[in-house]
Structure 1
């Protein structure tokens, strides 16, 4: 009611009946708050309203909303799938109907909507914790969405919610906070830390009604920071959800792991977008295996695996058994293929239900003997054939002998047969790609004939998915394309940037003409210059080959060239032509403005090497929009 008083003089009021609760009704009980002639427009999913939502059908990138207004069936399609964006779009729909816009016009304009940047950030925190900071809003609807993301990321790990008083909710505290605790209990949240006078008054009631949740309350953020200890937080995922007046940024800074100011930002929303972009090229029956080896191309294995599991892909692939073990410990339940198998990892594979890729008789025989000793039969494996990459894999001529051994010995069962395309992104080598596929078909025909049972077949990688759709077989393997890099450089996909490497300026100094910058006096100053020192060096993965003008960074919407040699922990850039630059400014090393492919080209390498070469001392921050 207090918030409604802000709108007492409006001529028209558009609202969602489901969101304001039964106790408040602008058309009846609270009608006297508004002008006599006010026009009320309500929408609802569950009851009578001016616009009644009948269905919401989500496809890969859109939501089709069907509704009834003035006894007419109408619908719109919007380029969103999250609930908050859908609710906002429906409210806009009501406004447009109120203003008398033609429905065809509304349908066209709704498709042009774009997402507003409201991001939840997942950061590494103290004592092996992760911190999800969602401080853009603090209401029950946004709390539900933030909890969904928290649990999606946490897997089986312990979870803690730090929640401030929810201001202007319209509900009395004795009803609001017990209802929230009930939601937390249903979702399996381990602990609630309440901050504020309202939630603190309910602590006894909340504790008595939620035996499975640890509940601690503090009357202010200051009291919490003075009383709490960092040792209270260990091996858990923490959600910060507070109204701005509570200054939760102080808690965020207190909990964050203290590392230097170079960070790699991993946009999980962009990753989900890229996944869907590739899925559009797949036949309905084609499965998808995501490559999360090498720390998911440097972006962080467990965090990426959780978002992929949430989007229901079919398989994950890692390079070594250790990586698969970490995923299992992080709560990942998807099937996991281990690509580089050795005897030291056999025990871990069995213990954590990992599926090895078998590529030689040596590995096959060793694993067979191990399984026999463990009395294990029909263990799932993946067979790799060499069709022209000449790296790993059985020769095509060995297919018959291998299949007969598998059948006869019975310790293993083939889940899939695969090979690797050497040049799927190169149009000049398409003829060789076809040669590889024909060799692959020859091998799988032999294996299929001898084994007599079905198995998955896959050879296509990121570039092969859309350049060679005829070679999808039963499954495809999506690697670097997931991270926003089109290895084919054909620009047929609307991929979004997933990884952004950023740092900050530590110092700016005036350097006169004729002076030099950096080791061995390599950076010669040809004019009076402003030189900025940035907190990143080759120990962070920024190559020394980018020194002396070969590389540049993005600052204040301009490129700033590197001057002098790249140092271990620092790099100098020339900001003479960027007079507004100041110490502490953020600098993009690569990302949306400087694509990682561009940086790779400057160093004479490939995007894979740049991404996987970023040091682990660089903090990873995970955002969802």
Structure 2
């Protein structure tokens, strides 16, 4: 950002300003005290987080040299005394002040700004357009999907005077949100990607949502859009001057007509402009969504005056770009974080933050980084990288590019520099990689995907992809159902429903979960050994191994009187208190103590003060079905009476928790002190009342191993039960029932998504593979096949074979690679 005088800024605000030090010039604004690089030149803005108030970290910022603060008016006066001689702006809304700073920084920028919005494709269009334009412009772009009220402000603050162009994306989920984003971005060129169903529930109708999104384009000089999006096109035609609108379409009548045709292993894009000039572009992408996004990119690049040849060169670099941080299994026990598509300082910091959330118990944390392209003062960039290495405790830094070699002195001694990617590949053996956590991040021209391919473990090509953004979205959806202060315990038993307990547990710890719960003691120990510090409840501890429970700070469930008696008799030699959760059986008839047990439970607790009641809970037997409402309410009434009796007679004040995922939706008024979130975290709303508000967090995908053309009547698979109704093509997929793809999916009982079309399983599912009818789809070996995700949904698949999503998720086999992605 440009240099700003904080006192001058504060004097223009209506909030109370407390002057302190004369050092008022700021170059950085941060909301996370861990990201303070140069304290003297940094402004710390305290926002309200999901678990903590930002002002709680003001003293950490002060200790790092920060002397300029924006704090909420509600922060305690005792805090102000600790910030001696600091400049402090006490604000009703620190977020508004952050946005005001961002607006000032944007208005000082003399280059062009591109603003992107829409329902889908915003981030991919932004990233691809940035890669194409970077050949001609020194540009800045929003990091990842920073398109929220906070994200847009932080993105705009990243614009520096040396940039020639900025690309910022804006996302909204409700009315009255875009105005603030428009005031920050103020784009000259706008791109409206498309309109979809996301957040429909918050708007009167689709047109209302379009109108809200189009507020971003209030003052644009040019606006790129797809004329085939009828509702969008009609509104823009009625609201924006023809001189502003730049439309593209497959059909004649648009400013640019872009038709697509298959070409070898990709697609040929023919383009004709209004002046009848024609262009031809080539891409390796074939799917509909990517081709739509690419046409936005091409049209925008041409509108900015870029030559077609340079655009084509940029398109060639987009091959196999993955927009997400992906955690993969590597050789020799290593874990790889693949971010090999692009590189910039903001993206590097996000990738390091993702790396920090992972845990390596025995190996090193290694960063492989290419030179950052076109980032102004390269010495300042290298110094920032060196600071980040220390901030995130990187054990080994590997720099690729001549600049790193020439500036070795700026980096720690635990550094290796290579002139180019080929040199690194040749010298890979000298790095002695084993059980290491490796972040691979490089500008596209360095082709770091070759490094990933060399280090990636040779494994089954079937993948269970866990989208961490979707987990966060679903977590926050359930949190919004609860009163402020209600805790959330998340169930991570059974390998976190098949998704990976350590990885998901660490992410939940990062986003604000209060408790985790596992089924058995060894699951809890595993979490502790993988960096989890949250409280952990063990639902079925079996025999009480007090040494293990104490060593690993685990909180066992006590579900019958005999357990409690045994525990009371054996705990005398235990040093300190043992937190336990008492389970009441109010109607589940599985585990738990009854009303008749209460008197003895109270007596034991009164006589043994080493047993600390951390929680009291019950399980609801039918919270997911309205037909069981009376029964559920009777369970909740019993729990209220029993827990009150226990607390009144013992004086304990434990966390009371009754509600599971289904219960949070149907009975939020009975949340008590804590709820237990399970299957809902993964985007499965078992009530089917709010399914459209959740996002599928797990996608099971595989690849096409072979494609055969078969005659009408030909049989397929074991038992010859699959039969071709006409001549056509059959694809063999690399997944079977040994991977957890249920054999009941045979013979058309399930469909898979290939090239955007749902196609039926043909014949019987085999142990390691299955077949699908792909007639007419031009499917090739290596094409992706989605077994479940958004479409087909795991809920529909479970219904089809008479089971529940839990069974399908937990049944996914261990040879299926888990990959964790952060969009």
Bin for the TM-score computed over the shorter chain: 0.7 to 0.9
386, 392, 400: which is aligned to 1:187?
Answer: 392
Using the TM superposition, give the Cα deviation of residue 170 of structure 1 relative to its aligned residue in structure 2, in angstroms.
1.6
Residue 289 of structure 2 is matched in structure 1 by none
Residue 79 of structure 1 is matched in structure 2 by 148
State whether residues 359 and 385 of structure 1, in contact with CA within 8 Å, keep that contact through their aligned partners in structure 2.
yes
Using the TM superposition, give the Cα deviation of residue 536 of structure 1 relative to its aligned residue in structure 2, in angstroms.
0.3
678, 691, 699: which is aligned to 1:500?
Answer: 699
Residue 618 of structure 1 is matched in structure 2 by 816
Go from structure 1 to structure 2 and tell me whether the alpha carbon gap of 1:168 and 1:398 turns closer, same or farther (over 3 Å shift).
Answer: same
Distance across 2 between alignment mates of 1:221 and 1:98: 38
Residue 434 of structure 1 is matched in structure 2 by 633
Using the TM superposition, give the Cα deviation of residue 59 of structure 1 relative to its aligned residue in structure 2, in angstroms.
7.1
Residue 29 of structure 1 is matched in structure 2 by none
Distance across 2 between alignment mates of 1:287 and 1:94: 35
Residue 7 of structure 1 is matched in structure 2 by none
Residue 33 of structure 1 is matched in structure 2 by none
Indicate whether 1:515 and 2:705 are aligned: no
Which secondary structure does the structure 2 equivalent of 1:240 belong to? Answer: strand
State whether residues 575 and 581 of structure 1, in contact with CA within 8 Å, keep that contact through their aligned partners in structure 2.
yes
Alignment of structure 1 residues 194-213 onto 2, 5 Å: 194-203=399-408, 205-206=409-410, 210=412
Alignment of structure 1 residues 142-161 onto 2, 5 Å: 142-154=347-359, 158-161=364-367
Alignment of structure 1 residues 291-310 onto 2, 5 Å: 291-310=491-510
Go from structure 1 to structure 2 and tell me whether the alpha carbon gap of 1:553 and 1:619 turns closer, same or farther (over 3 Å shift).
Answer: same
Go from structure 1 to structure 2 and tell me whether the alpha carbon gap of 1:517 and 1:335 turns closer, same or farther (over 3 Å shift).
Answer: same
1:183-229 CA-to-partner distances (Å, cap 9, x unmatched) read 211222221111111102222x145xx36xx2112222111111122
Residue 803 of structure 2 is matched in structure 1 by 605
670, 685, 689: which is aligned to 1:490?
Answer: 689
527, 532, 535: which is aligned to 1:332?
Answer: 532
1:530-582 CA-to-partner distances (Å, cap 9, x unmatched) read 11110000000001111011111111121111111110000011112x33211
Residue 784 of structure 2 is matched in structure 1 by 586
Residue 277 of structure 1 is matched in structure 2 by 477
167, 191, 194: which is aligned to 2:373?
Answer: 167
Distance across 2 between alignment mates of 1:395 and 1:96: 64
330, 334, 339: which is aligned to 1:125?
Answer: 330
State whether residues 340 and 447 of structure 2, in contact with CA within 8 Å, keep that contact through their aligned partners in structure 1.
no
Distance across 2 between alignment mates of 1:123 and 1:416: 37
Go from structure 1 to structure 2 and tell me whether the alpha carbon gap of 1:96 and 1:206 turns closer, same or farther (over 3 Å shift).
Answer: closer
Using the TM superposition, give the Cα deviation of residue 369 of structure 1 relative to its aligned residue in structure 2, in angstroms.
4.2
Residue 96 of structure 1 is matched in structure 2 by 186
Using the TM superposition, give the Cα deviation of residue 251 of structure 1 relative to its aligned residue in structure 2, in angstroms.
0.8
State whether residues 357 and 384 of structure 1, in contact with CA within 8 Å, keep that contact through their aligned partners in structure 2.
yes
Moved over 6 A (4+): 43-46, 53-56, 97-100, 110-113
Distance across 2 between alignment mates of 1:230 and 1:620: 28
Using the TM superposition, give the Cα deviation of residue 286 of structure 1 relative to its aligned residue in structure 2, in angstroms.
1.0
Distance across 2 between alignment mates of 1:411 and 1:54: 44
1:396-451 CA-to-partner distances (Å, cap 9, x unmatched) read 22122112112212331000000001111100110000011111112202210221
Distance across 2 between alignment mates of 1:580 and 1:144: 41
Which secondary structure does the structure 1 equivalent of 2:599 belong to? Answer: helix
Per mean C-alpha deviation after superposition, the further-off stretch among 508-517 and 544-553 is 508-517
Residue 668 of structure 2 is matched in structure 1 by 469
Indicate whether 1:566 and 2:765 are aligned: yes
Go from structure 1 to structure 2 and tell me whether the alpha carbon gap of 1:567 and 1:99 turns closer, same or farther (over 3 Å shift).
Answer: closer
Per mean C-alpha deviation after superposition, the further-off stretch among 580-589 and 120-129 is 120-129
Go from structure 1 to structure 2 and tell me whether the alpha carbon gap of 1:417 and 1:344 turns closer, same or farther (over 3 Å shift).
Answer: closer
Distance across 1 between alignment mates of 2:720 and 2:544: 49
Q: TM-score, normalised by structure 1?
A: 0.83
Alignment of structure 1 residues 37-116 onto 2, 5 Å: 66-67=99-100, 79=148, 81-82=150-151, 86-87=155-156, 88=168, 93=183, 96=186, 108-109=212-213
Alignment of structure 1 residues 422-461 onto 2, 5 Å: 422-461=621-660
Go from structure 1 to structure 2 and tell me whether the alpha carbon gap of 1:230 and 1:554 turns closer, same or farther (over 3 Å shift).
Answer: farther
Distance across 1 between alignment mates of 2:27 and 2:710: 65
723, 729, 736: which is aligned to 1:537?
Answer: 736
1:42-91 CA-to-partner distances (Å, cap 9, x unmatched) read x9877xxxxxx99795677x975542779xx9xxx963544787433599
Which secondary structure does the structure 2 equivalent of 1:343 belong to? Answer: coil
Go from structure 1 to structure 2 and tell me whether the alpha carbon gap of 1:301 and 1:215 turns closer, same or farther (over 3 Å shift).
Answer: same
Aligned length: 562
Indicate whether 1:219 and 2:419 are aligned: yes
Indicate whether 1:238 and 2:449 are aligned: no
Which secondary structure does the structure 2 equivalent of 1:181 belong to? Answer: helix
Go from structure 1 to structure 2 and tell me whether the alpha carbon gap of 1:465 and 1:618 turns closer, same or farther (over 3 Å shift).
Answer: same
Go from structure 1 to structure 2 and tell me whether the alpha carbon gap of 1:407 and 1:247 turns closer, same or farther (over 3 Å shift).
Answer: same
Alignment of structure 1 residues 371-386 onto 2, 5 Å: 371-373=571-573, 375-386=574-585
1:84-135 CA-to-partner distances (Å, cap 9, x unmatched) read 87433599645637799xxxx999438889xx99321111222332211113
Per mean C-alpha deviation after superposition, the further-off stretch among 512-521 and 600-609 is 512-521
254, 267, 291: which is aligned to 2:454?
Answer: 254
Which secondary structure does the structure 2 equivalent of 1:288 belong to? Answer: strand
Distance across 2 between alignment mates of 1:18 and 1:143: 23
Residue 547 of structure 1 is matched in structure 2 by 746
Go from structure 1 to structure 2 and tell me whether the alpha carbon gap of 1:177 and 1:370 turns closer, same or farther (over 3 Å shift).
Answer: farther
Per mean C-alpha deviation after superposition, the further-off stretch among 466-475 and 335-344 is 335-344
Distance across 1 between alignment mates of 2:702 and 2:189: 48
Q: CA RMSD in A?
A: 3.1
Which secondary structure does the structure 1 equivalent of 2:358 belong to? Answer: helix
Go from structure 1 to structure 2 and tell me whether the alpha carbon gap of 1:395 and 1:161 turns closer, same or farther (over 3 Å shift).
Answer: same
Distance across 1 between alignment mates of 2:399 and 2:153: 25
Distance across 2 between alignment mates of 1:569 and 1:194: 41
Using the TM superposition, give the Cα deviation of residue 496 of structure 1 relative to its aligned residue in structure 2, in angstroms.
0.8
State whether residues 96 and 106 of structure 1, in contact with CA within 8 Å, keep that contact through their aligned partners in structure 2.
no
Go from structure 1 to structure 2 and tell me whether the alpha carbon gap of 1:497 and 1:111 turns closer, same or farther (over 3 Å shift).
Answer: farther
Distance across 2 between alignment mates of 1:93 and 1:201: 43
Which secondary structure does the structure 1 equivalent of 2:517 belong to? Answer: strand
State whether residues 360 and 436 of structure 2, in contact with CA within 8 Å, keep that contact through their aligned partners in structure 1.
no
Distance across 2 between alignment mates of 1:181 and 1:258: 33
Which secondary structure does the structure 2 equivalent of 1:536 belong to? Answer: coil
Unaligned runs of 5+ in 1: 1-15, 20-42, 47-52
Q: Which has the higher contact order (CA 8 A, sep 6+)?
A: 1
State whether residues 192 and 215 of structure 1, in contact with CA within 8 Å, keep that contact through their aligned partners in structure 2.
yes
Distance across 1 between alignment mates of 2:153 and 2:360: 24
Distance across 2 between alignment mates of 1:85 and 1:572: 48
Using the TM superposition, give the Cα deviation of residue 276 of structure 1 relative to its aligned residue in structure 2, in angstroms.
0.6
Per mean C-alpha deviation after superposition, the further-off stretch among 265-274 and 238-247 is 238-247
Residue 27 of structure 1 is matched in structure 2 by none
Q: TM-score, normalised by structure 2?
A: 0.64
State whether residues 155 and 306 of structure 1, in contact with CA within 8 Å, keep that contact through their aligned partners in structure 2.
no
Go from structure 1 to structure 2 and tell me whether the alpha carbon gap of 1:106 and 1:568 turns closer, same or farther (over 3 Å shift).
Answer: closer
Which secondary structure does the structure 1 equivalent of 2:100 belong to? Answer: strand
Distance across 2 between alignment mates of 1:278 and 1:332: 22
Distance across 1 between alignment mates of 2:426 and 2:181: 43
Residue 490 of structure 2 is matched in structure 1 by 290
Residue 419 of structure 1 is matched in structure 2 by 618
